[in-house]
Amino acid sequence: MLMIKAMKNSMTSESIPFRLVGRRNPLILVPVRVNDKGPFDFILDTGASHCLISSELSAILGVQRDIEEEATGAGGSFKLAFGRVASLAVGSTKQLDVPIAVTGELEQIATAKKCRVDGALGFGFFKDFSLTIDYQANTLSLASGFALGSGSSISNAIPFELASPPEPERG
């Protein structure tokens, strides 16, 4: 079980099922509702600075794009178009007025993993929560404070530090 500590206040959490895709270097796919529609298949990507949605999902949802910037990821440079969605929800955990980046790069991941990928949950979503990933049960738990899963102890928590401070939110 992997725990990512985002805050220290103790709160309850719910278990949300996920599925692993790809035999080699598997990815976690989480059901996510966007603007109260879906669920859509999002990659859990704690290393991504932004939440991402595919160009296709952006068109379906009518996401307005404000600005476009060059970004760098594991596969090199690519373009991101920034906008906002009214809401992102994982289970009953919901955030409102969420900054989002639109990219065609998710289609390449979907092709490589032979599955549908509608988006990626990144730092923009997880920054306000404690995240527990239970690979044996294929579930994750989100809590708005530091909450240990059943049978866990504080010794299972792995401290980490962000490599660089987060940028201010785009207004």
Q: What is the pLDDT of residues 107-124, one digit of tens each?
A: 888 988 899 999 999 988
Domain range for 47 = 2-149
Q: Which two tokens stand for residue 157?
A: 């928590």
Instruction: Please tell me the total count of domains within the chain.
Output: 1
Instruction: Name the H helices within the chain.
Output: 55-61, 105-113, 123-126
CA count, 13 A, side-chain hemisphere, 32: 27
pTM (2 d.p.): 0.76
DSSP bridge partners of 17: 139
Q: What is the pLDDT of residues 70-84, one digit of tens each?
A: 766 656 666 788 999
Q: Rounded to whole angstroms, how far apart are CA atoms 127 and 27?
A: 20
Q: Which CATH number goes with the domain that contains 135?
A: 2.40.70.10
Q: Is residue 142, in this structure, part of any structural domain at all?
A: yes
Confidence of residue 48 (pLDDT cuts 50, 70, 90): confident
Q: Is residue 74, in this structure, part of any structural domain at all?
A: yes
Q: Is residue 104, in this structure, part of any structural domain at all?
A: yes
| Of 71, 88, 82, the residue nearest 30 (C-alpha) | 88
Q: Is residue 39, in this structure, part of any structural domain at all?
A: yes
Q: Is residue 138, in this structure, part of any structural domain at all?
A: yes
